Amino acid sequence: MKRPWLGPLRSAWESIRASYWFLPSLMAATAAVLAFGMLEVDRRGAASWLREVSWIREVGAEGTRAVLGTIAGSIITVTGVVFSITIVALTLASSQFGPRLLRTFLRDRHNQLVLGTFVATFLYVLLVLRAVREGHVPQLATAGAAALAVISVFVLIYFIHHAASSIQVSSVIAAVADEIEQQMPLLFPEQAAHPEHELEPDDATRLEALARDAREVEACASGYVRVLDVDTLVALAAEQDLLIRLCRRPGDFVQTGQVVARVAPASRAADDLCGAIRESFVLGNERTAVQDLAFLTDQLAEVAVRALSPGVNDPGTAVACVRRLGHVVATLAQREMPDERVLDDEERLRVLVTPTRFDEIVAGCLDPVRRYGAKDATVAVALLEAVSSALRCARDPERRRVLLEHAFEIHDAFAAEAPPAKRDAAAVQAALAEATAAAAERIA
């Protein structure tokens, strides 16, 4: 069952997840409701029996204000100091790993929960403090404030541990790799939806019309294509008996006035239909991983390239990224690439998209690292091992050819540098021989 709203909804959810306002705001609102509820219970005396508990004692108004004021002042101070340090850490991480990886830190649910806990505790205490007066001390609500303060202490301890571990390069690489694993089955299913489909006569007619008589749809805004709502376009094309060719795909940058789609026949492409086609392109200031796997693989490649820069000289980090990228290539070597033809429920051609090709993904994963790190024998061997692993998984002869070409390019780039040490040359040559053997074994 097609859900035309699912793509834009996932884009909106992606923006919410990468924000520090949604979850903390939700927790703060919950704390406010909890505070009013506890105060109401205290006002009605419904929880008077709790006063018999040893740690919930009758405290005067002045003492209650002092306790609540101390909690509120401490919490807001700790919140400011902790997240000031976090911003400094993120700045350093951005300079080392790349600015695009800040999105990974912003999406960290643990940091959002920590901020939400501190803000919620502060707001709860503030509301309870306002209700304290002579002759009426909300004992139950005050006990709740003390409980939240204790929880905040343990949350602070956890946050210090999590912040120290999350900026380690291994954690950063693993976070991006985990997101790739989540997106892979959604973007590249194991089998194609329509592996074999013969064009109907009217489909061929519409294809001819698309080449000679089509209306161009231009973008009214600029930005990156974050989500492309293909299901809506299929429904529109089926309703009007049209064929739509999409000229841009997720991850592309669209400029105002640039052609994003072509519709045939042009006589049926009304202005409102063109407006609906424009709305199916969800644009934003930055790319997302909702329909753009290259956005994530580019992040890993960027970390590897930065690690290989003369100012860092960290081939170990580059090798760790290459292994993750090699796993991506090996997994995609076994999966079907999206078809450019999208059919409606009646198996009729309605939309033509610009598909993601296997050779493009392989080039995006391996070429940046090869350009900057092939002179390092350790990196070159890791690249060749990644290619060998993918060759063992590849089913299609064309994909094996592409991977084998990359293997020889990596070897040639290493050999083109200054004459390497014998051990380095032997290691790279052995890795190349393993790749060629893997290709031959799969062909056989």
Q: What is the pLDDT of residue 374?
A: 79
Q: What is the pLDDT of residue 145?
A: 92
Determine if the pTM surpasses 0.85.
no
Return the DSSP state at 282. E
User: Is the pLDDT at 44 greater than 60, yes or no?
Assistant: yes
Cα–Cα distance, 373 to 307 (Å, whole number)? 9
Pairing relationship of beta strands 349-352 and 243-246 according to DSSP bridges = parallel
Per-residue pLDDT tens for 99-116? 777 777 777 888 889 989
For 201-284, CATH gives 3.90.1170.30
Which of residues 81 and 35 earns the better pLDDT score?
Answer: 35
Distances (CA, A) of 54 to 49, 50, 51: 11, 9, 8
Q: Where in the chain is the domain with CATH 3.90.1170.30?
A: 201-284
> Which residues on neighbouring strands pair with residue 259, listed in sequence order?
218
Pairing relationship of beta strands 349-352 and 341-343 according to DSSP bridges = antiparallel
Q: What is the pLDDT of residue 102?
A: 73
User: Is the pLDDT at 172 greater than 50, yes or no?
Assistant: yes
Residue whose token pair is 């064309």: 398
> Which residues on neighbouring strands pair with residue 261, listed in sequence order?
217, 246
Q: What is the pLDDT of residue 51?
A: 57
Q: Which two tokens stand for residue 23?
A: 């979850």
Question: How large is the average pLDDT for residues 10-18?
Answer: 65
User: Is the pLDDT at 2 greater than 50, yes or no?
Assistant: no
Neighbours of 129 (CB within 10 A): 20
Cα–Cα distance, 39 to 86 (Å, whole number)? 35
- Band of the pLDDT at 195, cuts 50, 70, 90? very low
Cα–Cα distance, 76 to 94 (Å, whole number)? 27
- Helix%, strand%, coil% for the chain, nearest 5: 65, 10, 25
Question: How large is the average pLDDT for residues 47-75?
Answer: 75
Closest CA to 384 of 333, 330, 326: 326
User: Is the pLDDT at 192 greater than 60, yes or no?
Assistant: no
Question: How large is the average pLDDT for residues 39-61?
Answer: 67
Phi, psi of 194, rounded to the nearest 5 degrees: -135, 75
User: Is the pLDDT at 166 greater than 90, yes or no?
Assistant: no
Of all residues in the chain, the percent with pLDDT exceeding 90 is 33
Residue whose token pair is 């644009």: 283
Which of residues 216 and 419 earns the better pLDDT score?
Answer: 216
Q: What is the pLDDT of residue 92?
A: 73
Per-residue pLDDT tens for 282-303? 888 888 888 889 999 999 999 9
Q: What residue type is assigned to position 340 of the chain? A: E
Cα–Cα distance, 420 to 174 (Å, whole number)? 32
How distant is the alpha carbon of residue 95 from its chain centre? 20
User: Is the pLDDT at 56 greater than 60, yes or no?
Assistant: no
Question: How large is the average pLDDT for residues 302-308?
Answer: 91
